[in-house]
Structure 1
Amino acid sequence: MAINTFARKEVKFLLEMYQYEGLMEVIHEYMNPDQYCIGGREYGIYNIYYDTPDDFLIRESLSKPYYKEKLRLRSYYSPAGPDDLVFLEVKKKIGGIVTKRRVSMTLAESDAYFATRQKPEAKKYITEQVFRELDVFLDHYPVAPKQYISYQREAFFGKDNNDFRLTFDRKITERRFDLRLDYESYGNYIIGEDQRLMEVKVSDAMPDWLVQKMSELKIYKTSFSKYGRAYTNFVREIAQNRKHIYISGVSRVDDRILMNRSV
């Protein structure tokens, strides 16, 4: 079993293709590709986000509070098998600083944990700490799988600073059904095919070379949450369905029918 803990700033930028290509002209001078991205390769990331029946966690997150948190199960395989490694992560943002604590286990072990709180054998004290944190989270929030998000990622880290990371995500895909990691990756795209979501992950300030290049390319910070964008699209679709039904002459709408898309 592995454990990872992160604490850093994460700044996001939504790029058009010409901006992405412009950045790539200088990135290799200052950064090395992640071990899984050598030679221009990408890797897939597949997530299940957990939320309450009334979607409290994502609604609270979209209100931009000082403190927010989320729970997700992540895999680097699609579809994941019962013995494949997955990561259960609690991600928190406090005043702009992102912390992420996670434990790894097999997909089958994660099913057992959510069903009965049966934990895999923890060989490290820190792992036990994270599981206690997860237990507190699950006691406080009656969560269930609510959102699938996957994407293809290209990642780099600084030659002079391994804590400086830069990632580009494309094919960001969402769905609110078939909410398991042992299903294939499919769904609706939430950004354009020629767009890239860039995330700058640093423990301090961004390097000067990156700031200068982004200024040249007119790249500006954006507020972007993958889960948030997917949820916003979902709510908009429900509103459009209500309007369509009303215009069609139906005066009473059964919300259970409209919400069926999320089951």
Structure 2
Amino acid sequence: MAIEVFNRHEGKFLLNKNKYEKIQYMLLEYMEIDEHNKNDEFYTISNIYYDTKDNHLIRTSLLGPRYKEKLRLRAYGVPSENEKVYMEIKKKVSGLVNKRRTTLKLQEAYEFASTGIKPEYKKYMNKQVLNEIEYFLKIYDLEPKLYLAYDRKALFGKENRDLRITFDKNIRTRRYDLKLENGDYGEALLGSDDILMEVKAEKNIPLWLSKMLSRENIFKRSFSKYGSEYKRLLEKERKEKGELNLCLNQYLMQYQTQAQLVHQYQ
């Protein structure tokens, strides 16, 4: 049975193709390839991200709060309408990532997201996560906002299975035709030579990995696939330089003012 609850720290690194080929070869001394990569070097993951009409979730996330959350629908490859997918809530609290997901059939997931009504329970579902998603859908008026797919290679630690490193390339997105079954096409988010590496660990990363990254001049950086796409969207909509920061700062002021008013009347 697939793991449906994750608690871990994540670090992100942007690599070029040459750096990727070197580091992934070095990692194989300590790690092994994920079963999804046994037949193909990369496998495809496709997602639908949900947000409010005014993009509250991603706009709040870009402000860098201690707590942020998102809801997405995830599939491996391009699913059929009756195929099983994952609906998941991803939260980040002071750097610790918590991901909770349940298996659903694709049409069950679409109906759940659009109506907020839980599907009739079946053995492949996670009851607790269904309840959490139901509550999430009650407090936010969500709609599908973004399709995002990428090709992934994943490695697991030979001795520590909690250590996972993934490489994502060919990240592509679209804000139309928001159906997983309609194909994994979209506009490229990064350059063709760019690969996103993510290091995921329940606790601290091992010393050997820290030394390897330092030796190869690979340094951690902040990067969000959904956030990067949204900032690109804003940039396209703004004609004058600097309006992106102005927009986010105005949203921050509005968000803080609302929070102050709530606190005032408590």
TM-score bracket relative to the smaller structure: 0.7 to 0.9
The residue that corresponds to 2:21 in the other structure is: 21
Change (3 A) 1:53 1:115: closer
More off after superposition, 112-121 vs 6-15: 112-121
The residue that corresponds to 1:216 in the other structure is: 215
Question: Are 1:36 and 2:43 counterparts?
Answer: no
- Report the secondary structure of 1:199's partner residue: strand
The residue that corresponds to 2:132 in the other structure is: 133
More off after superposition, 207-216 vs 110-119: 110-119
Matched-pair contact (CA < 8 Å) for 1:22–1:217: no
Matched-pair contact (CA < 8 Å) for 1:214–1:220: yes
- Report the secondary structure of 1:182's partner residue: helix
Aligned-pair CA distance for 1:3: 6.3
Residue identity in the other structure for 1:151: Y
Question: Are 1:230 and 2:260 counterparts?
Answer: no
The residue that corresponds to 1:256 in the other structure is: none
**Aligned pairs (5 A) from 1:52-131:** 52-78=52-78, 80-116=79-115, 117-123=117-123, 127-131=126-130
Deviations 1:48-84 (A, max 9, x none): 0000000000000000100000000001131x21111
Q: How many residues align?
A: 240
Matched-pair contact (CA < 8 Å) for 1:15–1:196: yes
CA distance in 1, matches of 2:197, 2:21: 12
CA distance in 2, matches of 1:2, 1:15: 29
More off after superposition, 46-55 vs 14-23: 14-23
CA distance in 1, matches of 2:25, 2:118: 49
CA distance in 1, matches of 2:218, 2:120: 44
- Report the secondary structure of 2:91's partner residue: strand
Name structure 2 gaps, 5 residues minimum. 242-266
Residue identity in the other structure for 1:205: N
CA distance in 1, matches of 2:137, 2:19: 41
Aligned-pair CA distance for 1:208: 1.9
Aligned-pair CA distance for 1:92: 0.2
- Report the secondary structure of 1:230's partner residue: helix
- Report the secondary structure of 1:36's partner residue: helix
CA distance in 2, matches of 1:25, 1:47: 28
- Report the secondary structure of 2:156's partner residue: strand
- Report the secondary structure of 2:210's partner residue: helix
Residue identity in the other structure for 2:193: D
More off after superposition, 185-194 vs 36-45: 36-45
| RMSD of aligned residue pairs (Cα, Å) | 1.8
Give the fraction of aligned pairs with identical amino acids, expressed as a percent: 43
The normalised TM-score by structure 1 is 0.86
The residue that corresponds to 1:249 in the other structure is: none
The normalised TM-score by structure 2 is 0.86
Residue identity in the other structure for 1:6: F
**Aligned pairs (5 A) from 1:161-240:** 161-240=160-239
Matched-pair contact (CA < 8 Å) for 1:13–1:221: yes
Change (3 A) 1:39 1:135: closer
